[in-house]
Amino acid sequence: MRAQNTVISVGLFLALAIVVGLFTSLFEARPGEIAAALGSVVGGIIGAMGAAVAVYLTLQGQRQEEISKVSSAIISEVAELCKAPMGQLGACLLIQAGAMRVPASHIRYLFNMPEPVIYPAVADRVSRLPRTTLVVTFYTQLAETRGMVELLSNTGNPQELVEFGMVKEIADLLISQCQLAQLVLSSSPVPADEEPLLTSKRRIMIAQLEQQLDMARRQIPDAQSFRDQAAQ
């Protein structure tokens, strides 16, 4: 929008300058000179408008290219980062079923959440992406999970075995992260120039997320994230 306003302002300034110059020169001009002046003015206006349109189209093309690159980068990172909450949700389901016994001292390792790299670098341009709210919420919840894990690690008995009740809130947050990742990956438009590898990865992760969410829905159907989704 700022670029568009700049182009419009430049165009108006040029047009105003041409008009002022025209009226100034017409006061003492002869008929032939007036015709020549009018021709020059018309040509100048056309040239100025053409230049403004060219600048506008160039800026629009650059903006679209930037959005496409940022979108592809974010989609790629979401597809990679969602592996962590998906695997950790699986661990929670195993703990609930009694198939995994983990001491509380290992919680920080079991729920280790990788730090995003791309998102902090493009955070100022995320507002231009489709489904911005989903993207921002996904990354925000990753940080929230790290905080919950840190709190649990520092307050629990290191020798105590982890019970599902201890990680139930984390499991609910992981469900939400998987839901968000699935929505981001499935609802974001696929650019025409997207690499086939990323397109394939996107499709695979969507299927794996759905499978993990189905398992969680069967084991903990009363999770708040599922109730919130049903209410929407």
pLDDT in tens, 36-71: 655 665 666 666 566 656 554 554 545 566 667 788
Question: Same domain for 37 and 56?
Answer: yes
Q: Which of 16, 35, 60 is the last residue before a domain boundary?
A: 60
The percent of residues above 90 in pLDDT, for the chain, comes to 36
What gap in Å lies between CA 70 and CA 38, rounded to an integer?
A: 48
Torsion of CA 24, 30, 35, 38, to 10 degrees: 0
Question: Same domain for 170 and 83?
Answer: yes
Helix, strand, or coil here: 68?
helix
Q: What would the mean pLDDT of 4-33 be, rounded to a whole number?
A: 57
DSSP tally for the chain: helices H, then strands E: 9, 0
Question: Same domain for 27 and 88?
Answer: no
Q: Which of 12, 42, 60 is the last residue before a domain boundary?
A: 60
Minimal CA–CA distance to 14: which of 56, 46, 54, 38? 46
Helix axes 31-81, 196-219, angle to 10 degrees: 50
Minimal CA–CA distance to 111: which of 131, 125, 91? 91
Question: Same domain for 30 and 127?
Answer: no
Q: Which of 34, 60, 86 is the last residue before a domain boundary?
A: 60
Where is 213: in which H helix or E strand? helix 196-219
Whether 35 shows a pLDDT value over 90: the answer reads: no
Question: Same domain for 26 and 85?
Answer: no
Read off the pLDDT of residues 99-127 as tens digits, 9 standing for 90 and up: 998 898 888 889 998 899 999 888 888 77
What gap in Å lies between CA 112 and CA 146, rounded to an integer?
A: 7
Question: Same domain for 40 and 126?
Answer: no
Count up the domains in the chain and report the number: 2
Question: Same domain for 44 and 141?
Answer: no
Q: Which residues pair with 103 in a beta bridge?
A: 161
Question: Same domain for 208 and 165?
Answer: yes
Q: Which residues pair with 161 in a beta bridge?
A: 103
What gap in Å lies between CA 175 and CA 82, rounded to an integer?
A: 11
Structure token digits, residue 217: 């829905």
Q: What would the mean pLDDT of 2-31 be, rounded to a whole number?
A: 57
pLDDT given for residue 18 in this prediction: 59
Question: Same domain for 194 and 108?
Answer: yes
Question: Same domain for 120 and 84?
Answer: yes
Neighbours of 170 (CB within 10 A): 22
Question: Same domain for 93 and 150?
Answer: yes
Question: Same domain for 110 and 32?
Answer: no
Domain carrying residue 37:
2-60
pLDDT given for residue 47 in this prediction: 63
